[in-house]
């Protein structure tokens, strides 16, 4: 097998949130272009893991290291990681109330590309992707806090992913709350982004097998109580879906 260049390396990470130890020695490697799945019961540390890779200041790293493209980023602020190409979909904090979708996306594109993107340039790219994602063109005129439906939020995530063209996409429950048609649009959208950027690496967090029927993961990790307890191929998703987590829970 051809050796692929390393994209993300996590070394023995211990992470606390408000004095609770949540990640208890997690190591993981993602190479360029690989799609990884992270599965595990509620509260096992999946979202914490994605947030720590993005640099969310709400979590403190007790020990361990994070490398991105071979450079240590353990202590870099989130905006610096985003500029380097780490992507975690934006969750609409209230601080930017009033900002329209198209304004927000243009700002994000400029920040990621580190250059000015004209209104026209942004509009052309935006319209192109909105069409591909089967989104109503009027969506871009809405305010970011404008009561998006579950499906709209998730499509907006994929829209951000497409326009920011990151090197690593962290997708946390991008499929939750989607009806079957919207799930297909979101998965097709991801696959399209991936096709245009075959080097895109991804860590996809979900509870359900159905997403992985549409997006094929290369490697599947199972996390329980802050430990990665199993690593396998796509067949691990089916095993979890069929038998649940019992087999591993008894071992922890
Ligand atoms: N900011 C925080 N402060 C305190 N505790 C937290 C914080 N974030 C997460 N935790 C705790 O850490 C544990 C892991 O949470 P996390 O959100 O990472 O789980 P998860 O695997 O994503 O779960 P789910 O499948 O329900 O989304 C939980 O017990 C949670 O309550
Ligand atoms: Mg979670």
Strands (E), 93-215: 168-172, 201-205
Instruction: Check: CB of residue 43 under 8 Å from CB of residue 20.
Output: no
Q: Which of 48, 173, 176 to mutate to test the pocket of ligand 1 (most atoms within 8 A of CB)?
A: 48
What ligand has the least distance to the C-alpha of 43? 1
Least confident of 8-12, 102-106, 206-210, 228-232: 206-210
- CA of 48, closest atom in ligand 1: 18
Return the C-alpha torsion angle 174, 177, 180, 186, nearest 10: -20
Task: Give the SS3 label for residue 103.
Answer: helix
Give phi and psi for 180, each to the nearest 5: -65, -35
Task: Give the SS3 label for residue 36.
Answer: strand
- Residue 100 β-bridge partners: 143
pLDDT (0 to 100) of residue 153: 85
Neighbours of ion ligand 2 (CB under 5 A): 46-47
Residue 152 binned pLDDT confidence (cut-offs 50, 70, 90): confident
Residue 149 binned pLDDT confidence (cut-offs 50, 70, 90): confident
Average pLDDT (127-142) is 91
Residue 40 binned pLDDT confidence (cut-offs 50, 70, 90): very high
pLDDT (0 to 100) of residue 98: 80
Q: Give dist(CA 190, CA 158) in Å, integer.
A: 7
Q: Give dist(CA 52, CA 61) in Å, integer.
A: 8
Say yes or no to pLDDT of 225 above 60. yes
Q: Whose CA is nearest to atom 19 of ligand 1?
A: 43
Predicted TM-score of the model (pTM): 0.92
Q: What tokens were used for 118?
A: 């004209």
Say yes or no to pLDDT of 4 above 80. no
Give phi and psi for 249, each to the nearest 5: -60, -40
Q: Name the residue among 60, 39, 69 with its Cα closest to residue 205.
A: 39
Question: What is the number of residues in the chain?
Answer: 252
Say yes or no to pLDDT of 24 above 80. yes
- Cα 41 to ligand 2 centre (Å): 9
Q: Give dist(CA 169, CA 204) in Å, integer.
A: 8
Q: Each residue of 171-223: pLDDT tens digit?
A: 988 777 788 888 888 899 999 999 999 999 999 998 888 899 999 999 999 99
Reported as type and span, the H/E element at residue 176 is none
pLDDT (0 to 100) of residue 18: 93
Q: Name the residue among 36, 55, 45 with its Cα closest to residue 200.
A: 36
Q: What is the mean pLDDT of the chain?
A: 91
Give phi and psi for 77, each to the nearest 5: -70, 155
Residue 147 binned pLDDT confidence (cut-offs 50, 70, 90): confident
Q: Give dist(CA 118, CA 120) in Å, integer.
A: 5
Residue 58 CB: number of other CB atoms within 10 A? 9
Residue 96 binned pLDDT confidence (cut-offs 50, 70, 90): low
Percent of the chain residues topping a pLDDT of 70: 94
Residue 117 binned pLDDT confidence (cut-offs 50, 70, 90): very high
Q: Each residue of 75-94: pLDDT tens digit?
A: 999 999 999 999 997 665 45
Domains and CATH numbers, the chain: 6-249 (3.40.50.300)
Task: Give the SS3 label for residue 232.
Answer: strand
């Amino acid at each position: 097998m051809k050796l692929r260049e390393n994209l993300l390396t996590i070394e023995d990470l211990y992470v606390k949130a408000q004095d609770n130890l949540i990640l208890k020695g997690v190591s993981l490697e993602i190479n360029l272009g690989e799609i990884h799945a992270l599965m595990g019961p509620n509260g096992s540390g999946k979202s914490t893991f994605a947030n720590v890779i993005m640099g969310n200041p709400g979590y403190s790293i007790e020990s361990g290291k994070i490398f991105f493209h071979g450079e240590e980023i353990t202590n870099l602020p989130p905006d610096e990681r985003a500029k380097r190409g780490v992507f975690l979909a934006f969750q609409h904090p209230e601080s930017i109330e009033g900002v329209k979708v198209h304004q927000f996306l243009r700002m994000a594109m400029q920040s990621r590309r580190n250059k000015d993107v004209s209104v026209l340039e942004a509009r052309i790219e935006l319209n192109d992707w909105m069409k591909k994602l089967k989104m109503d063109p009027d969506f871009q005129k809405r305010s970011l806090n404008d009561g998006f439906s579950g499906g709209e939020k998730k499509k907006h995530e994929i829209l951000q992913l497409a326009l920011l063209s990151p090197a690593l996409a962290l997708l946390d429950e991008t499929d939750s709350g989607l009806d079957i048609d919207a799930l297909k649009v979101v998965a097709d959208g991801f696959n399209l982004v991936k096709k245009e950027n075959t080097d895109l690496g991804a860590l996809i967090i979900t509870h359900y097998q159905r997403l992985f029927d549409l997006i094929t993961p290369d490697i599947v990790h199972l996390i329980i109580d802050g430990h990665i307890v199993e690593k396998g191929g796509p067949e691990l998703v089916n095993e979890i879906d069929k038998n649940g987590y019992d087999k591993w829970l008894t071992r922890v």
